[in-house]
């Protein structure tokens, strides 16, 4: 069987700039590109055209210029930041939240890490815009996504990226939960509620269903590869990484090791 082939990204590496991507979602791309952040962190500003309140999702790393850019972007539209929400607690998504909260007076909402003020199915409202919380643990235990029904879009943080695949960040991340989350997103795409993905890194995904199918197939293939490596004599996660990820740039091997540890734990159970 041929290996899963990823859909072509909507923008080549280095050409994703963010901007207004749906009627209600604008991406401000932070200038922090890297092996784990791809083109950089996508900070999403959600608001209705002509609205006076905005939701900011994932303020990014703590960088005065980036958080000020968010404030200026919202103010230029005659609005204010009403709330700041996080897809998960990794620093490249959340570190800038305290600064943005100080600049705007808006509350920060998230799952875990002293918050626990968002739950699956919660509806966040700004003006006439509704944003629904969708629990999608697995990348991390606190990972959540946000459905934007009016735009048939899902903001996925690191659960689904704009190119490549994500890491199941063992031990906080857990593969069984991640696979369940992919099935949940698949159901949303199958029902027509979600057509596109607005990720935490990388360009937007205009065909959510195809990308999620790729993710699901890729995970099954990786599990098969890990099983084969263990059967072939690999004893440690490092051994498995050296076998399974031999053709992958070594700069991502530490992240790959986290996913391999998650897969080994999954196979043990």
Tokens of 72: 């200026």
pTM of this structure: 0.94
**CA separation for the pair 86, 56 (Å, rounded):** 9
Which residue is catalytic, options 39, 53, 92, 172? 92
pLDDT at 5: 84
Compute the radius of gyration of the chain from its Cα atoms. 18
Q: What pLDDT was estimated at residue 114?
A: 64
pLDDT of the residue at 223: 95
The Cα 161–Cα 71 span in angstroms is 25
Q: DSSP character for 39?
A: T
Mean pLDDT by 10 residues, the chain (269 residues): 79 94 97 94 96 97 98 97 96 98 96 78 91 96 96 98 93 95 96 94 97 96 95 95 91 91 93
Annotation marks residue 92 as catalytic: yes
């Amino acid at each position: 069987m041929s290996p899963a082939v990823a859909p072509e990204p909507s923008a080549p590496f280095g050409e994703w700039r963010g901007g207004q991507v749906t009627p209600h979602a604008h991406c401000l791309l932070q200038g922090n590109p890297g092996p784990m952040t791809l083109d950089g962190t996508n900070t999403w500003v959600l608001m209705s055209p002509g609205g006076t309140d905005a939701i900011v999702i994932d303020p990014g790393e703590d960088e005065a210029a980036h958080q000020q850019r968010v404030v200026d972007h919202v103010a230029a539209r005659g609005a204010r930041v009403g709330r700041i929400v996080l897809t998960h607690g990794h620093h490249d998504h959340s570190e800038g939240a305290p600064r943005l909260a100080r600049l705007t007076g808006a509350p920060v909402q998230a799952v875990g890490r002293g918050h626990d003020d968002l739950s699956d199915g919660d509806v966040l409202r700004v003006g006439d815009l509704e944003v629904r919380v969708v629990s999608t643990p697995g990348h991390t235990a606190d990972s959540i996504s946000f459905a934007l029904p009016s735009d048939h879009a899902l903001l996925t943080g690191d659960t689904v990226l704009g190119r490549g695949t994500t890491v199941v960040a063992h031990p906080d991340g857990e593969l069984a939960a991640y696979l369940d989350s992919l099935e949940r997103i698949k159901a949303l795409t199958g029902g027509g509620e979600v057509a596109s993905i607005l990720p935490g890194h990388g360009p937007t995904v205009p065909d959510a269903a195809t990308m999620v199918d790729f993710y699901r197939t890729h995970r099954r293939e990786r599990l098969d590869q890990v099983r084969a490596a263990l059967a072939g004599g690999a004893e440690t996660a490092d051994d498995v990484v050296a076998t399974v990820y031999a053709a992958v740039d070594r700069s991502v091997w530490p992240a790959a090791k986290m996913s391999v540890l998650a897969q080994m734990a999954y196979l043990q159970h």
